[in-house]
Every structure is written in C-alpha cells, then in structure tokens.
Structure 1
Amino acid sequence: MRSRTSLAPRVAAVLAAVLGLLVPLLSFATPAQAAATGLHIENGRLLEASGNDFVMRGVNHAHTWYPGETRSLADVKALGANSVRVVLSDGHRWTKNSVEDVAAVVAQCKANRLICVLEVHDTTGYGEEAAAGTLDHAADYWIGLKDVLAGEEDYVIINIGNEPWGNTNPAGWTEPTTAAVKKLRAAGFAHTIMVDAPNWGQDWQGVMRANARSVYDADPTGNLIFSIHMYSVYDTAQEITDYLNAFVSARLPILIGEFGGPPDQYGDPDEDTMMAAAQQLRLGYLAWSWSGNTDPILDLAIDFDPTRLSSWGQRIFNGANGIAATSEEADIYSSSGGDTTPPTAPGTPTAAAVTSSSVTLNWAAATDSNGVTGYDVVRLSGAAETAATTTAGTSATVTGLAPDTSYTFAVYARDAAGNRSQRSGTVAVTTSSGGSPATCGVAYRVANEWPGGFQGEVVIRNTGSTAINGWTLRWTFPGSQRVSNLWGGTSTQSGAEVSVAAVSYTATIAPAGPVTLGFTAATGGTNPSPTVFTLNDSTCSVV
C-alpha cells in the first residue's frame, strides 16, 4: 500500500536480479476439499456458487481513514468496477472498525452490486514496521465479526491482513500465515480467504512463491487465494509474467491485490503488462487506490470526486484492459431469484427529533415484490452524498453532527437481490446550538395579517439567572404556514417545523432580558398559533 505508512527502501536493480532467481512453484493435485459455499476455489480458479469464474476488476478504498466516504462504493460501481477491497482496522494501529460499521460496509457493497474484499491494514510491514500488528491479532478480529460475516460467502472475501511482513526475515511469513488460516477455519469460516505476500506485499525474495503450495494445502477447504502487490519491483514485463504464470501453472489461485503505475523514487512499474497479463490469464486486479492517498499521484479520483479522475484513474477505468472494458458483474447479482427490479423510492423523510449532535428521521416504507431488506440514509452536500447510517426499519437516528449546522438528508431502499431504489425526496435540518439548557418564556403574536399571509412576532425571554449564549428556537405550526422572511435570526423550515438560530446581535440573552424576532409567512387559509416552543431543546413557557 501507499497510504498512511512508509514503504521500505527497495533497490530496483537488485530486486530485479533476485526475482530471476526465485524458486519455481511445483504443481501438485489439489487436495480433497469441502463442499463449495459461495465464492470458492476450484482447480486454481476463483468461482462463484454458479460455477462460473469471477475475475475481480476493482479498486482499493481506504474506508478506515475516511469512514464517511461510503458514497465511493456507488461511484466505483458506476465506473464499471465489479469488486472493491475495503481497508479496515482491527484497532492495533488505527481506530477499530466496529461490528456495526463492517455490517454497513457489507450492506453498501451488496446494495451497489460489488464483491467485497475486506482487509485488516494494521499488519502492514510486520517485522520491519514497529507499529504493525500480527496476523493472529487480525484473525481474532475476524472471529469477532463472525456473526456479521456468516452467510455472506457469496459476497465477501476475507483478506486476513495487508502486506503482513516487511523486508526483515520475510521467511517468517509462512508459519503465521498458515496459522491464521487454520484459526479462521477452526472458528467455522467458510469464506474464500485471501493472503498477502511478504516484502511489503511484493514478494521480491520469493517467499510466498516458494511456500504457496504448503500454505494452500494447510487450508482444509481449499478456498484460499494469494495476493501479490505490484509496484516498482515489477518494472519489466518478464518479472510480471514470470510471477503470475508460476502460480497459474501450479494451479494455485492468485490476483494482483494492489498495484500502481506512476513512477516513484524506487522505479517505474509496468502497469500495462500487469493489466494485459491479468486479462490474458483471467486473473483479478484491484488498483490502489480510489482517493485520499497520502501520495496524490496514486489517487484514482481527486478528492473522492468520480468526475475528476486523475491520469492514473483514467488509465485504470478507461484504458486498455481497464475496468470499463473488461469488468463483468458477479453472477450472484444477476441471478438472485432473477430479480433486477429495484424497490420503489421511500417517502421523503421527516425530522422527528433534533439535538445539537443528532437527528431522528422517519419515512414511509418503500415496496418491493420480494421485500425490502433495508434503507440507507445519506447526507447531501450539494450533489455529493455521504452515507450516514443503514437500518432495517423506517426510522434512523443520525449522530455525530455539528451544533448549529444545516444538513440535508435523503433515503434509499434496498431489496434482497441487492437492488437499490431511486433516492427519496430530501429534508433540510438545522441542529441546535449546543448551548446549556435554557430557562425561557416565549410570547407569540400575529402583528399584521392579509389574505394568504401575515407578519408574526416572537419574543424570547430568559427567565433564568445566567445569560444564554447561543441559542436555537424551534416551533411547529399547527396549520400550513410557511415562513418567507425572518429577522433577528436565521431560519430553516422542514414541513411544519421552524428552526431559528441566533445571529451575532441576538446570540446573548441576559437574565430577564428579551430578544425579539419578526417574520413574514404565507398561510393556507387558516392561521392558528403554535403552542410549543423549545430553546436549546428545553421547552419554554408560553406567555
């Protein structure tokens, strides 16, 4: 990988020489295997439950560092990808991805009809990188996710740990890799398991190449696939084709789990040969990386914007042997009961409760002939979407919001086949100021009225003994009134609910002091007065 960790120095000329001396793999018959479940390995190939090849054409996405960018999964799907490798953390080095978060990632992959490769990144460069965690720790993390991952064998591949050995004594890779595979199988995992190579994933000393057979034979299910990461070590066509063909000839499954093309200080990778060889041999590839990389030259999309592909992104998605030209969607999505019809769009959400850091949304259910399995709530910023939460019901509480901030939300529905509905209508919500609970009184009156409209006045009085610094006032109209202009604050309205945030000259209300708001509004014929007002989420007396 190239993000959030330092790559160990590599001397291209020496590495190229070493590559030519790597011990070739021997081909033996595949051992007896358990019955296939979902994605599985047969005769050196990755197959779906249908028995057809599945050839990965996708990208890596750094979810653990950018957990709000789950819209990226829809974006890479729209560009043609059939799979995505998702960066997670087991908590050893970075913030641990929770059970709920991983469940949401899997749901997002399925909603966007992607095969999901989940990987723990904390193992990167173990033995050379002091901060790296062990494969055994990563295996324990996967076991803790068993309830989430069980039953997802058609959709999920478990990549035990990213680049789990550096350049220091890479021969040490074999034993812990074998042990981690056995630990997961003993825990009952039937998924296809992916293992990365040592030497920061590039295997330039040939340890994985020489020991792949023994590691593979140690898996009682035979559902094991090897992942080579190809960066500057692989700067000639001969090195690339020799390595991949060694596995293919031995009937050992392999894919290019990460690769880069732009040159760096270590050399100039030959991405053209990598992609051409993968296409010729029908092997998968997953480019590094979608966006947010600390080495910007390896961002496929600039600032997570699918309309701003870098030259590297254009090469991967639209170039020769690229994703657009060679990707085929997984059978499971086109054969799930033959259902390709998405649910109807859910109803426009309404805000049931708003605080300084959260909002509870409700919406009318969507419909689907085979049943709706869940909903995705998204937050909108302009045209961009950020997934906020996933739920099975028609209500969700979105947390982690900033005080006194306006947000816009919408909802999608999903069905059992992974089809996703059109987006619902949108609702605008402003969070409260986050100030301390207020003791308050409110006087409301209609100052002037005309056909179809009126002028209103609201007087807020601080009935407490300390000043109120910063406030948000809310009320709900009992009729169909709609505010058109307001002074003394900044207003938003969602349905019948009006939210007014203080402006600089009204932000402080001294003890016993008042603040007056004025507004004009339209009516729907009648003009009943609101009866409940809250200030900083505290109910005020109406005077």
Structure 2
Amino acid sequence: MRHRFLTGLAAMVAFAPGLLALAVSGTAAQASPAAAADTVAASSSPSLPPLAPPSRPFAYNVTDTSATLAWYRHDNEFRYELDRLVDGAWQPYSFLPINSTKLTGLSPSTTYTFAVFAYALPNSGYTTSPLSEPGSFTTLPPGGNPPPIGGLSCRVDFSSYYSGGFNAAVTIHNGGTVTVPSWTVTFTLPTNVRVTSVWNGASTISGSAVTIVNAGWNGNIPPTGSATLGFAGTDAPPLLPPNDIAVNGVPCAVFAP
C-alpha cells in the first residue's frame, strides 16, 4: 500500500485517518479498528510542515514467536501507524497510541522489517510525518533457544525498575576457541536517559554516546568463559532501552520489562 497525504479536506472537519477506505489501483485499503476512537482535525492551511519521522524501530525481548518493538518519539505526536515490509511493499500492520508494542504470533527463524508514521496532534502546526527508517530483527529458532555463536556474544537485562531509575546487567560470553584479551561495550543513550554508575568496567560518556571498557582484572575471557558488568541510570518511566548495545561491535540481545 502506498501512503499519500490527503489534500482538499474541509477546514476543521474531523477525519479518522485509520478508517478511511482509499481506492488504490481499484482496491479498498481497510485500516485497523484500533483507530476508531481517534480523529484528526484537518487544518485550513495547506502548507503545514510534516513532523520529523520517528526513530528507526528496534526490537527487544525477541523470542521464537514474539518481540517487543519500540521507537523514540518527538513532541506533537498523536498516534502511530506501524507498517510492515512484505514482498517489497509497505503494508499497514497496526495503529497505536504509544511508541511501543508487543508483536505476537510471529514465525520462528524469520526476519521482520517495520517502519513507523507519526500523526500530528490537532492544532500542533504539523502534518503527518514521513515514514521512519526501517528496522529489522530475526526471531529465534523453534523453542526459543538462540543458535550457537562463535566468538563473543552479549546479553543485557534491564531490571530493578524504580521511580526515575533502572539497573542493567550485561553478560559477555566467549563462544570461540581463543581467549578474548579485552572488551568494549558501546551504546547510545535515548533522550533524557542518563547513566549514573558503572560496575566491573570503566565508562566514558560523550554526549549521548557511552563506552564501557573492561577493568584491569576482567578483560581476558577464555573460551566458554564469561564476564559480567552493569550500569545504573535515571529516566522518566517507562524506559526504552538503548537500541544499539554492542560488545566489540557485536550486537547484544536486550531484554526489558
């Protein structure tokens, strides 16, 4: 389905963007009933700027049949249209009032690609955003056990949520045949998230970029061995975890409540 901006609408008449049936190449495109309760007022100005697109969607809590998908939002956003890439074409998947959703009924060992539109708040001075950059993830094999990984792998568990803060435990595993002499964990902080302490490593923070290197005593990881570290931070809940946590450049699996 191709998305188009609607023009020529009557000023200040309420429209439900998720419920409009548009004739596209002779086919009526029906949207999710989840949008039934929400309407957007058409502006009398035809030249309003679009919202900035939401961030690229990212997945965490990935299993063989489910995943949590989230994206970072901007001001003046009203609700979202989540689209899935199917056979090279974007298709509406769901309409959402918040910037995260749990996907269920997925197929094991399958790669999924999603992107997001943001609808503007009425009278905000903006129109619907362009489509975000696409984000992809692959579900685990049947049974939910990750495939063996040669070399380093990493798991991050966000837990111990409390008002205004969180903890994160990081486990680095060496599945290779040679000792890893050192490790570096990197990630980018979402807006308004701050790292306040790190343990079992030394951190450097430059703007939103965080780098954690091994301590003097836990850099060497022998074959089949592991190293653990952690960090704490502050945020206004609910927290969306960083979408790019990696160890020595290898993406980490992320799990959060």
TM class, shorter-chain normalised? 0.3 to 0.5
What TM-score, normalized to structure 1? 0.24
Structure number with the higher helix fraction is 1
Structure of higher RCO (CA pairs closer than 8 Å, 6+ residues apart): 2
Q: Please give the TM-score of this superposition, normalised by the length of structure 2.
A: 0.45
Q: Larger % of strand: which? A: 2
